[in-house]
A and B are shown apart, each in its own frame.
Chain A
Amino acid sequence: DAKTTQPPSMDCAEGRAANLPCNHSTISGNEYVYWYRQIHSQGPQYIIHGLKNNETNEMASLIITEDRKSSTLILPHATLRDTAVYYCIVRPRGGKLSFGAGTTVTVRA
């Protein structure tokens, strides 16, 4: 019962920014937006999370709309190694993760 909606797939050119959208229109006030990714044959990897403010770390930036009903993960300079399935998840801090189908991102040279 994932609470998020993501496009099933997207392509991105190497070196360009990749903008991954996520809709979470039923998000509750105490729920955070988390992003994970899963590279083929590996376990999921945490990317970033936020509550209502935009966040940035060494991997990505997270832009959350003011009404918190949607967000965008930005990979500033996509590389071939960023090819993976990206999952947008909403949950209270410390709760279990409910993974949907995610977005399959293919970075092309």
Chain B
Amino acid sequence: GAGVSQSPSNKVTEKGKDVELRCDPISGHTALYWYRQSLGQGLEFLIYFQGNSAPDKSGLPSDRFSAERTGGSVSTLTIQRTQQEDSAVYLCASSFPLAANEQFFGPGTRLTVL
């Protein structure tokens, strides 16, 4: 079956513009995670959705970052008024709920803020 997909694969934007990144999780996975990875760094947790529960937003670095998950499936990560330090690879992962063994990661979106 299809894995986690993300779009776009690459995004170049100008400082101050808003961007939207999309994640399509594996069908049936109710848990969805967003992470980001800056150049040469490890993964940084951003936000976690689990079913209809309130999302865990504890990793969002500022109020410029927000995410939605519509219908329990597709998720959109929005970054408003982008800054150069937002440049990173944004990774999405999905899994079955608490009984899950592993998270399946998408290929990521490489965001470059000029």
Instruction: Spell out A's residues near B (CB within 8 Å).
Output: 2, 34, 42-46, 49, 87, 93-94, 96-102
Contacts and interface: CB of A to CB of B under 8 A. Distances in A.
A43 B99 contact: no
Contacts of B4: 43
A46 B33 CA distance: 15
A2 B45 CA distance: 11
A94 B53 CA distance: 14
B101 A49 contact: yes
Contacts of A102: 42
B23 to A, nearest CB: 11
Q: Size band of the B side of the interface? A: 20 to 34
15 contacts: A2-B42, A43-B4, A43-B91, A43-B93, A43-B106, A43-B107, A44-B43, A44-B93, A44-B105, A93-B99, A94-B31, A96-B48, A97-B45, A97-B103, A102-B42
Contacts of A98: 45
Interface string B75-114: 0000000000000000101010111111111111000000
Contacts of B95: 94
Given A49-B101, A100-B42, 18 more contacts: A42-B107, A43-B105, A44-B91, A44-B93, A44-B103, A45-B105, A87-B43, A93-B100, A94-B31, A94-B50, A94-B95, A94-B97, A96-B48, A97-B35, A97-B45, A97-B93, A97-B103, A99-B42
A34 to B, nearest CB: 7
